[in-house]
A and B are shown apart, each in its own frame.
Chain A
Amino acid sequence: MAGLDFKAPVSREQEDAAVVAHNTRMGVWLLLVYVVFYGGFMALSAFRPAAMAATPLGGPNVAVLYGFGLIILALVLALVYMKVCRKSGQGSAA
């Protein structure tokens, strides 16, 4: 830990404002998609808990299916975000 230097310069990335804006916009849209599903889960659990016991596919109930679905959806949206994000200096999909 010798040489602990709190003021050391840190190199910064080259940034393209248009790319940052595009990525931010994509992030917000995908977040909204997830919020809709997550909000639906919260609402169903809080206001219609009995509906969570239904077994629409004959196997696990809605509570389990919706819970697993939210976890899988998070990964799917994360991969979509990777696909639609752009790199600075390229201006096209990464």
Chain B
Amino acid sequence: MIHEASSLSVIVFLVFAGLVVGISFYLGARAKSASGYFAAGGGIHWAVNGVAFAGDYLSAASFLGICGMIAFFGYDGFLYSIGYLAGWIVALFVIAEPLKRLGRFTFADALDNRFNSRGIKLAAAISTLVVSCFYLIPQMVGAGALVQPLLGFPHYVGVLLVGCIVTFIVMTAGMVSTTWVQFIKGLLLVLLCLVITVLILMRGVNTDPKVASEKAGAVQPRGVDAASVTGAPGAEVLAADGGWAALPYLRVRNTASGIVRTWRKDADGTLSATQTLTVLSDGRKLANGRPQGKGEGQDDLKPVGYASKLPGGVERTGSLGPFEFLQTMQESEVILWGSDKVTGSDGAVTTVYFQKPTPGGDFMTPGSSPTFRKVRSDKPSDKLDFLSLMLALFCGTASLPHILIRYYTVKDQISARKSTVVGIAAIGFFYVLTLYLGLGAMTSGTLDVTDSNMSAPLLARSFNEFLFAMISAVAFTTVLGTVSGLIMAASGAVAHDLMTNFLKLKMDEFQKVRAAKIAALCVGVLAMALGITFSKMNVNFLVGWAFNIAASANLPALVMLLFWKRTTKEGITAAILVGMCSSLAWILSSAQAFKDVYGLDPASALVPFSQPAIVTIPLGFLVLIVVSLMTKPAAEKIA
């Protein structure tokens, strides 16, 4: 879909972006030392740090990815909300206080506290860089998705815009400004989502999306008699050649206009309308058979998303309570959309978006999305992907470098504990709201069938332009805050762990500052390149991969360091490297990577399921235990 920018959106966006950069400059000028730059001098109040945790954690994936997945597939997106929140329990009960006790600036500091090992410093720094880069991809993809409807720029311009602003912020400021930016946006994000949830409940659910919003698309025809289509004046049925042969579609050309319309043959023998996006062999795009655009003689994909049946046969429910809304969705039928990609004999590639009337009893339980479909399979081995992802989400939060370094910004262990509890409250509340936001978007009539990541901003647009501008701007600053935290973690790993502690480079103050800035710049450029490369993937799925790698590489080392006295430096180093490499190799050999990254047949994937955590986390523990038992414990350094 082509989205039109509005001047109001641009103004609100510029105000927010200017505010963020201004705060960064003002506070960045006050960060005069390493402690100030990397850990805000340990002087952040626990309540502020707690909300900043939420701002840091509620990233593009949480906001855009989860809402998009719920809007397109239902409850399955909420599984991510549950897993993301559960991970904070591990962070609070196991990691928070020891990490604050043992570390200074980076994750490697805490791991290396007892050993002073160059191997641990190197392994932990590499792990931080890899996890940060994987986590950066979805943030940048999300940024592009936001800027597209907001400013009317192409996706890659959004990625470049965010990348440049964030890299600039991190290079000029540090952890103090990052913390305050995250605090402000975390607070605003939760409050704005609460406002939108209230509006969703007040609007209720309707079978005519035009009642819900004037921006909504019209109801798409279903149950159409095939004879009325093929027998219409000037209708010419096209042969089902090429990739069309095996699919249930009927293509009809109007001999007067030359426009081809595609219908889906349903099981009851009737036809339902589809939407098509065709890329011709010369690169031109057709939307629903016409050149894609908003001008005369052009066409574009239509916004979708509405209930086709409501409980009691009513056409609109009116205002609903929080539980009443969920119950209504369970008892309704909603038009969800699937897609098929077809290559014709002329080389044109057409993506057909078709209607899928889906009962609430189906989409309000696990297994309705392609990601989790196998939980409904009878084969126990098919459940492994789901179990592995839920394990990764549970274990991954407490292993994310940009989350871990936030524990160094408060003064003591009690503050670390308190700030985590505040973070859990804010994040938990937000995740409850995601279910309402996603289901609200599902029935808002404004969904873009080509991009699930834009569901939440478009939901806001279904209410009014100002709310759309506000939520997009806040979400944009959310991306800024998370990305700046990630680049902080990565530049700390390079300047502090690798250059100063591992390589023992002799640098004066100016050189050290320059090293940190160059590291931030390099990571920023890399993030932009990755964000453009992976632009079509659901950001939530990409974050799942980052959690897998973080949990596999870092958690075994952290946990065993705290709870097993026989742990050796060799064991920790080996566990980090094996956990990281094995999870990375598994992900790159998975069906999902074959399909979405390489464009190959997923059936030829080298591993049986896409999420590696259920294998690679135990592997990390096993390697650590075996290597530690085979090596001699060093005399402990006093912490």
On whether A78 and B420 interact (CB within 8 A), knowing A6-B512, A70-B85, A71-B82, the answer reads: yes
* CB of A94 within 8 Å of the partner chain: yes
Would B101 and A13 count as touching, CB distance under 8 A? yes
Would you list 16 pairs from A and B whose C-beta atoms are within 8 A, ordered by A residue? A6-B34, A6-B495, A8-B33, A13-B413, A15-B101, A24-B562, A31-B90, A34-B89, A49-B367, A53-B361, A59-B327, A67-B78, A67-B435, A71-B82, A75-B425, A78-B424
Q: Is B201 an interface residue when CB atoms closer than 8 A count as contact? A: no
A93 interfacial by beta-carbon distance below 8 Å: no
* Cross-chain contact A74 with B89 (CB below 8 angstroms): yes
> Which residue of B has the minimal Cβ distance to A11?
B42
Q: Inside 8 A of A31's CB, which chain B residues have their CB?
A: 89-90, 93-94
In whole Å, how far is B78's beta carbon from the nearest beta carbon of chain A? 6
The proximity string for A residues 50-61 relative to B, scoring 1 for CB distances below 8 Å and 0 otherwise, is 101101000111
Interface size, A (range)? 35 or more
B375 within 8 A of A: yes
Interface positions of B (Cβ within 8 A of A): 31-35, 37, 42, 75, 78-79, 81-82, 85-86, 88-90, 92-94, 97-98, 101, 104-105, 174, 323-324, 326-327, 330, 361, 364-367, 375-376, 380, 383, 386-387, 390-391, 394, 412-414, 417-418, 420-421, 424-425, 428, 431-432, 435, 495-496, 500-501, 509, 512-513, 516, 562
Residue of B nearest to A19 (CB): B413
User: In the complex, how many angstroms separate the beta carbon of B227 from the nearest chain A beta carbon?
Assistant: 39
Nearest CB of A to B199, in Å: 20
When A and B form their complex, which 3 residue pairs have the shortest distance between CB atoms, in order from nearest? A27-B93, A46-B383, A31-B93
Q: How far is the CB of A34 from chain B (nearest CB, A)?
A: 5
* B79 / chain A contacts, CB cutoff of 8 Å: 45, 67
Q: A8-B35, A45-B366, A71-B431 are in contact. Are A3 and B509 (CB under 8 A)?
A: yes
Where the two chains meet, the residues of A that have a C-beta atom closer than 8 Å to any C-beta of B are 1-6, 8, 10, 13, 15, 20, 23-24, 27-28, 30-31, 34, 38, 41-42, 45-47, 49-50, 52-53, 55, 59-61, 63-64, 67-68, 70-72, 74-75, 77-79, 81-82, 85, 87, 94
Q: Please give me the residue from chain A that is nearest to B420 by CB atom.
A: A78
Tell me if B323 and A10 are in contact (CB < 8 A): no
Given contacts A27-B93, A55-B330, A70-B82, contact A5 B33 (CB under 8 A): yes
Could you tell me the distance between the alpha carbons of A4 and B97 in the complex, rounded to whole angstroms? 26
**The residue from B33, B323, B386, B424 contacting A59, defined by CB atoms under 8 A apart:** B323
Closest-by-CB residue of B relative to A53 is B365
Give the Cβ gap from A41 to chain B, nearest Cβ, in Å.
Answer: 7
- B428/A71 in contact, CB under 8 A: yes
Q: Is A38 in contact with B394, judged by CB distance below 8 angstroms?
A: yes
In the bound complex, do residue A75 and residue B424 qualify as a contact, i.e. CB atoms below 8 Å apart?
yes
Which of A61, A63, A68, A78 touches B421 (beta carbons < 8 Å)?
Answer: A78
What is the chain B residue whose CB lies nearest that of A38?
A: B86
How far apart sit A15 and B638, CA to CA, in the bound complex (Å)?
13
Q: Please, how many angstroms separate the alpha-carbon atoms of A67 and B174 in the complex?
A: 37
CA distance A6 to B507 in the complex (A): 11
Cβ contact within 8 Å between B75 and A63: yes
Q: Are B85 and A71 in contact (CB under 8 A)?
A: yes
Q: Are A68 and B92 in contact (CB-based, < 8 A)?
A: no
Minimum CB–CB distance for A40 against chain B, Å: 12
Complexed CA–CA distance, A55 and B81 (Å) = 21
Which residues of chain A are within 8 angstroms of B414 by Cβ–Cβ distance? 85, 87, 94
Q: Is the CB–CB distance between A64 and B435 below 8 Å?
A: yes
Q: Are A67 and B82 in contact (CB under 8 A)?
A: yes
Among A2, A23, A28, A49, max chain B CB count under 10 A is at A49
